[in-house]
Amino acid sequence: MSKVKAFGAQSSDANLEELNIERREITAEDVKIEIDYCGVCHSDIHQVRNDWKNSKYPVVPGHEIIGRVTQVGKNVSNFKEGDLVGVGCMVDSCQECDSCKEDLEQFCENGATLTYNSKDKHLGGHTFGGYAEQIVVDKEFVLKIPENIDAKATAPLLCAGITTYSPLRHWNVKKGDKVGVIGLGGLGHMGVKFAHALGAHVVMITTSPSKSEDAKKLGADEVLISKNEEDMKKQAGSFDFLLNTVPVGHDMNPYIALLKRDATMVLVGAIEPLDPVHGGGLIGGRKRIAGSVIGGIKETQEMLDFCGEHNIVSDIEMIDMQNINEAFDRIVKSDVKYRFVIDMKSLKN
Ligand code: NAP
Ligand code: ZN
């Protein structure tokens, strides 16, 4: 085992602070990574603040990890020292159940091991994420990062990217579809970029009029302010697909009204109780509400390759590790353009 510097929270109301964690010695199947960058996902805040009531402390968050390989186990042939790699939300799964065999490890029937706050099969206790100097990960959960795009801006692809790419692909969003992306934060801004790249007519649905200009730069054809009831009415029944990234429980009825007959709204944001849905809104148009969580490893690699080919990266604000608590507060206030990425060099100071 080796001791590694990290940043974590000791309780749900504590700030994140520097601490030491253990990383395992590499096994024959493992890849050791020196972390250069780590994105800051709203899930990191939910976990630190115990919003989902399952946090284990200390929480060392971080599941948008980019770094260089420093060592590989003897059975690792697809990675070598110096490779630019990524690690997302999962670091292991059973590899045997139907979901794993179908490359859908995120639905592993025996429970995928999440990058942080999951049972650690090797060391006992729980896993620690990417707000750290290094990480050791099974080779099956390490991703290749295209070298032609800005490495620090690829970090958010590992969670925000795949979480929006996967449902757009699964629900077969295609050229000419009218797609609404609800919430312009880390996930939402990637949803806009991907929907645009797939040829959809993209409408950014936001509570923040001040983000309108940015939304258009990101690839939105239109902006719809969700608080404006008149404008919402004008677009009723017109959307082929909605991607809802709102991070908290909310009233979905106004969004359901936007869907066409037979169309689907996919929830990726609120992993908590939602306000009651009026059955009439669904029954009237044979509409659907569905959910989606990240994506499998194969699809994550496909998304990264797609980003390499289409030159897609995230819009980021770089921060030092020491400024993480302020960054959390700004994310909660919807004040981030559009993902914070931690420069992990700052942890070495
Ligand atoms: P984020 O950067 O905070 O963005 C969320 C955006 O939602 C905000 O910028 C804001 O955009 C909008 N919003 C916030 N509060 C709202 C409210 N009360 N009503 C309506 N809109 C509101 O968060 P994120 O990192 O994108 O993550 C979004 C959610 O997805 C989080 O809950 C996170 O835990 C979850 N998540 C899920 C998965 C998955 O696999 N399903 C993966 C990653 C994250 P506007 O200012 O434009 O309104
Ligand atoms: Zn995330």
Ligand 1 binding pocket includes 269 (Cβ within 6 Å): yes
Q: Is 259 exposed, middle or buried (0-12, 13-18, 19+ CB in 10 A)?
A: buried
Ligand 1 binding pocket includes 244 (Cβ within 6 Å): no
C-alpha–C-alpha distance, residues 103 and 292, integer Å: 15
CATH architecture type of domain 2-158+315-348: Alpha-Beta Complex (3.90)
Ligand 1 binding pocket includes 115 (Cβ within 6 Å): no
Domain ranges of the chain: 2-158+315-348, 161-291
CA distances from 21 to 34, 72, 345 (A): 15, 21, 17
Nearest ligand (C-alpha, residue 186) = 1
pLDDT score, position 312: 97
What residues have CB less than 8 Å from 29, skipping those under 6 apart?
A: 73, 75, 76, 138, 139, 140
Other beta carbons within 10 angstroms of residue 45's beta carbon come to 17
Nearest ligand (C-alpha, residue 205) = 1
144-183 residue pLDDT tens: 999 999 999 999 999 999 999 999 999 999 999 999 999 9
Kindly state the average pLDDT of the residues 33-45: 98
Ligand 1 binding pocket includes 337 (Cβ within 6 Å): no
pLDDT score, position 290: 98
Q: How far is the CA of 132 from the centre of ligand 1 (A)?
A: 24
Closest residue to atom 14 of ligand 1, CA basis? 246
126-145 residue pLDDT tens: 999 999 999 999 999 999 99
For ligand 1, mutation pick of 38, 40, 43 (most atoms within 8 Å of CB) = 43
Which CATH number is 161-291's, of 2.60.40.650, 3.40.50.720, 1.10.8.50, 3.40.50.300?
A: 3.40.50.720
Radius of gyration from C-alpha coordinates of the chain: 20
Q: Write down the pTM of the prediction.
A: 0.97
Kindly state the average pLDDT of the residues 329-333: 97
CA angle 334, 106, 121 (to 5 degrees): 105
108-123 residue pLDDT tens: 999 999 999 999 999 9
